Amino acid sequence: MNFEIPDHVREIRQRVQNFIEEEIYPVEPLFEGGRSEKSEEALRSLMAKAKEAGLWALGHPKEIGGQGLPFLDYVYINEVVGRSELAMVALGTHSLQDSIMLMEFASAQWRDQYLKPLVAGEVFPSFAMTEPAVASSDPTQLQTTGTLENGQWVIRGHKWFTSGANRAAYTTVMCRTEPDSPPHDAFSMIVVPTDTPGYEIVRDVKVMGHAGGHCEVRYNDVRVPESNLLGPRGAGFKIAQRRLGPGRIFHCMRWLGQAQRAFDLLCDRANNRVAFGKELGRHQQIQKFIFDSACEIQSARMLTLHAAQKIDQGDEARVEIGLIKVMGAQMLHNVIDRAIQVHGAMGVTEDTPLEGMYRRARFARIYDGPDEVHVMTTARRILRSYQVGDGWDFGLR
């Protein structure tokens, strides 16, 4: 196993990092208070600059308008993209999972309508699985229904945490279409343009005091053409898994980029702030912050790259992805928490990026499946391999 960044990736990775540090960091404060005319204009300008600099949609397949970087090369790019919350949209990487989902599963009509503008950043996607009324970490319980009536899907239900719905052109809705099938074959994905009558955004749910576009949406007899179905009927779980699998590797790499930024701030403050006659970094308790953070970042990085290599070799790496989802999110949370602590009161103000990073790190332990669900499914998989006599030999994984 070789975890070194390949030579041919270093140059483009450095260019992405420079773009983020020079172009994105200075405008980040504009976005802390939610969306405004100024922030939207700054975002459009960043997107145009990224295109000009040849840094747009680096990981999207070439056939849909991306630059087609191979999976493992793109993994390393995501590490630097993670440094800023804004970078995904500014560099056009935010639509990767949704555009691949459309490319693989949508009818020709929807591919034509959405794929090109999606990859070009002209329209935004959103994805609706979670519902307020049921524990959505067990999606077999979802209650939103889709019924085929006179050649149209009629969708009825109530979702929330549909991130980005308030700026999206469409939402891909997971709904129950096959009530008589076993739970994992009972749900389908249906594309719903957000301007369809009956699609009602109830509110932009505030999370930890901030409106971040995580919308509550009601589906009041929303009618869309039959051809808006993605893939075959009842394939919702398979499509969701296909959407999330490699995406989790990119998430985890971005968390490593966030953690790197927090670690840089932590070390800088430790070297420069003086208390009780010496720099903070010369106090043992702060040295332990640095030691623990270095351990956690390095371990999460090795685990993530290992999982990425397994996926690249065609393995689904479900256990390895479970490990990094949980460990990566906890690592991110811990490192940012320590960086805030050495900044004292300033750490919880908007004078450093740490406050916003901390809020978002907390979300990471919940979205794409809460920690406990990944712990459960990962442990079950390992136990199953013992039950069938294979065991789990780390040396052979």
Ligand X SMILES: Cc1cc2nc3c(=O)[nH]c(=O)nc-3n(C[C@H](O)[C@H](O)[C@H](O)COP(=O)(O)OP(=O)(O)OC[C@H]3O[C@@H](n4cnc5c(N)ncnc54)[C@H](O)[C@@H]3O)c2cc1C
User: Which positions touch ligand X (CB under 6 A)?
Assistant: 127-130, 135-137, 161-163, 207, 214, 363, 366-367, 369-370, 372-373, 376
Phi-psi region of 344 (alpha: psi -120 to 50; beta: other; left: phi over 0): left
Quick one: tokens of 254?
A: 């971005």
Nearer to ligand X, 113 or 130 (CB): 130
- CA 228 to CA 116: how far, in whole Å? 17
Nearer to ligand X, 221 or 372 (CB): 372
Closest CA to 140 of 129, 153, 125: 129
- The answer to whether residues 171 and 198 touch, using CB atoms and an 8 Å cutoff, is no
Give CA angle at 101 (57, 59), nearest 5°: 20
- The answer to whether residues 106 and 99 touch, using CB atoms and an 8 Å cutoff, is no
State the minimum distance, in angstroms, from the CB of residue 200 to ligand X: 17
Nearer to ligand X, 95 or 162 (CB): 162
Nearer to ligand X, 83 or 243 (CB): 243
CB count, 10 Å around CB of 288? 11
Quick one: tokens of 245?
A: 């699998």
State the minimum distance, in angstroms, from the CB of residue 212 to ligand X: 7
State the minimum distance, in angstroms, from the CB of residue 25 to ligand X: 22
State the minimum distance, in angstroms, from the CB of residue 318 to ligand X: 16
Return the beta strands (E) in the chain as ranges: 127-128, 145-149, 152-163, 170-176, 187-193, 199-207, 210-225, 229-230, 274-275, 278-279
State the minimum distance, in angstroms, from the CB of residue 125 to ligand X: 10
What are residue 278's phi and psi, to 5 degrees?
-155, 165
Nearer to ligand X, 243 or 301 (CB): 243
Q: Are strands 278-279 and 199-207 parallel, antiparallel or unpaired?
A: unpaired
State the minimum distance, in angstroms, from the CB of residue 160 to ligand X: 8
Nearer to ligand X, 161 or 358 (CB): 161
